Chains A and B, each alone.
Chain A
Amino acid sequence: MDRTERLLDLIALFLDAKEPVSPAELREVFPDYGQCSKEAFERKFERDKSELAELGVNLDYQPPGNEELGGYRLRDGYYLPEVSFTPEELAVLFAAGSAALASGAFPGRADLGHALRKIAFGAPGGPVGGSPHLFAELGKATAEAGARLETLWGALLARKRVRLSYRALGRDEQTEREVDPWGMCLRRGVWILVGYCHLRQAERTFLVERIARVRVNDERLKSPDFEVPASFRISEVAAEQAWEHRFHPPVEVELQLSAELAPLASRLFPKAAVEAAGEGARVKVVATYLDALLRRVLPLGEGAKVLGSARALARFREMAEAVARHHAQPEEPR
């Protein structure tokens, strides 16, 4: 009997058991357990038990009572409860889930696939699919990129330290980093790994596409290498704008938006202070990467003006003039 069979047989036994199953009974009914020493049985059973726990099947030991012998039983039940998602809820979960699966660029794809199959189980009608009216398109990832995300997902779940070979942008050299993976997010179409970088001794973000290689610490796989700070929220990292990358000390930039642009202010510059000014709006944005902010302002056209600081305005003028120069009309032939 192979291990897969034994584990399934164990589940079948516990699903049917009306009373806790004692270790002695287990040894009696499973030759694999009975035909070895007590110590070997205990080790083997512990390993099986933790394998089952990975599948969400938890066995608890119940000590002997007045009437009963001590033994194991299923904790928390086994079966997926009847969950009645509405068609709309299912459509959203499947639209998002199938986009993630189709792209190959989503961490935890195996887990996601199983979750979708489980929640689809109770759904009435035919196979559940996504929605043609609401979807996400993540683009196709290479098999290598998908595998890297999957490795990081595993490390994130088990809280294991990873060793990254990280490429710097535009350079061939790589740095080796030891990182505690706190979280991951998709930001402007790009996967970001956030964690504690032991090289820099601080929280750092890494673009997953710049990770050339990743290796998970394989020592003591069952015990986590780190704790995630209680205050950590991936949503804050995900919401970070390009001009909020911490490259420079913060500067406050003041913008004047036209009447046409003013209603879009909070979408264009989330987190900025917006107040009505004349027909339009005045916006104050804090930037730690000034050029990124100005590059966001330029495409807004003449409806967006930089009022200050003086340095921001000078840089903005420099950029606008450079674009104008590059696209100058050829001089009239004399």
Chain B
Amino acid sequence: MSEARERLRRLLLVVPYAVRHPGLRVEPLAERLGVEPATLRDDLDKLALVGRPPFSPDDFIDIYVEDDRVFVVLDQRFERPPRLTAPEAAALWASAQLLRPAARTALASAQEKLFAAVPESAREPFERLAERVGSEAAPMDELLEPLSRAAREGREVEFDYLAAGRDKSERRTVRPYAAYLHRGHWYLAGFCLVRQDDRLFRVDRIRSLLLTERTFRERKEVRAETGARSGVSARIRFSPTAAPWVRERFAEQAKALPDGGVEVELQGATRDWIVSYVLSFGGEAKVVEPAFLRDAVGETARRIVAAIG
């Protein structure tokens, strides 16, 4: 989209926001509008030149800054934002699809309201666009809705958890901090009362979930890259066959080997995760160190071979 159009679109929001928040300082107003304060000041200067015929003094927008605060005297009917365009609604809808497995109910009701906010002539284009942009939606609402609710309301949950590479599930009691999506997988971060430590759970390996009435207060800010992890490091070697994928995924972290393969140093992963990650390469990856992980992968592989018979 051209810069001029982008600016015009922004200008149509400045007056409504300033009307709605009279006397708000330049910086927080700019933040709400998603621009730098200097840009907002330029926008305000521009808006002061806008008016309608016959362009007598009272026909212009009267917006000004006093003591760093923004005031509107005459809004010339720009008191509310324009309706959503089809691309705006479609972009919003496409992003919302990310969280659909965790918030199907909320999104179903939001969709109707969103539809109402789009002018009639844009509804069909919006619907057609919505069929064209999206993301995968794992069928796990029965878990994700209660888990995110438990995190929001600060309630303990209990569930059976089958850790990757393990053959028995285990009952866990967890104080959930957050449910989040990362690289196509859903995780639950929380304090595990069984392990007495922060833990990360793959939601697709949870079953028999129970949302208890027991509440808790302590919260922790969670981010995927700092997520609760036990922090094992491992050196893994990939064959020349697997190398192109690994290079794409790890970029410069993948170090070239003389045989055409690559080596990657993984950090901050769990034992179980590394075992299943290496297995998922079907013989094209091997753990160089630490020895206990090499043994763990070997042990699992030997059990699989034995089970084939």
Contact = CB atoms under 8 A, between A and B. Distances in A.
Interface of A: 3-5, 7-9, 11-13, 15-16, 29-30, 51, 54-58, 75-81, 83-86, 88-89, 91-93, 95-97, 99-100, 106-121, 127, 131-139, 153-154, 156-157, 169-170, 182-190, 209-210, 228, 232-235, 238-239, 258, 260-261, 263-264, 266-268, 270, 291, 294-296, 298-299, 301-303, 305-306, 313, 316-329
Contacts of A184: 132-133
A267 B131 contact: no
A8 B77 CA distance: 12
Closest 9 A-B residue pairs measured CB to CB?
A322-B283, A170-B244, A327-B298, A189-B183, A188-B184, A108-B91, A299-B276, A29-B53, A183-B132
B243 A234 contact: no
Interface residues of B, number: 134
B255 interface: no
B219 to A, nearest CB: 8
Contacts of A324: 298, 301-302, 304-305
Given A114-B88, A137-B181, A298-B304, A15 B76 contact: yes
Interface in B85-139: 85, 87-92, 94-99, 102-103, 106-107, 109-110, 113-114, 116-117, 119-122, 128-129, 131-139
Nearest to B134: A234
Given A55-B5, A111-B91, A121-B17, A16 B77 contact: yes
A133 B148 contact: yes
Given A115-B89, A135-B178, A328 B167 contact: no
B149 to A, nearest CB: 9
B256 interface: no
Contact of B83 (A54, A80, A131, A189): A80
10 contacts: A4-B11, A12-B61, A112-B95, A117-B13, A118-B81, A134-B180, A137-B181, A258-B167, A294-B282, A322-B283
Contacts of B90: 108, 111
A108 B106 contact: no
B139 A75 contact: no
Nearest to A25: B53
B171 interface: no
Given A93-B110, A234-B134, A264-B204, A302 B306 contact: yes
A171 B89 CA distance: 39
A96 B32 contact: no
B38 interface: no
Nearest to B109: A89
Given A170-B243, A185-B134, A301-B166, A136 B85 contact: no
A89 B46 CA distance: 35
B283 A326 contact: yes
Which among B9, B47, B92, B152 has the highest number of chain A CB atoms within 10 Å? B92
B280 A299 contact: yes
Given A78-B82, A93-B110, A263 B95 contact: no
Contact of B117 (A3, A81, A187, A294): A81
A12 B48 CA distance: 13
A239 B184 CA distance: 11
A323 B278 contact: yes
Contact of B140 (A111, A238, A267): A267
B113 A298 contact: no
B305 A263 contact: no
B129 A157 contact: yes
Interface in B188-222: 204-205, 207, 219, 221-222
Given A79-B82, A261-B162, A112 B88 contact: yes
Given A93-B110, A189-B183, A189-B184, A12 B76 contact: yes
B308 A305 contact: yes
A154 B119 CA distance: 21
Nearest to B136: A238
B78 interface: yes
Nearest to A95: B99
B252 interface: no
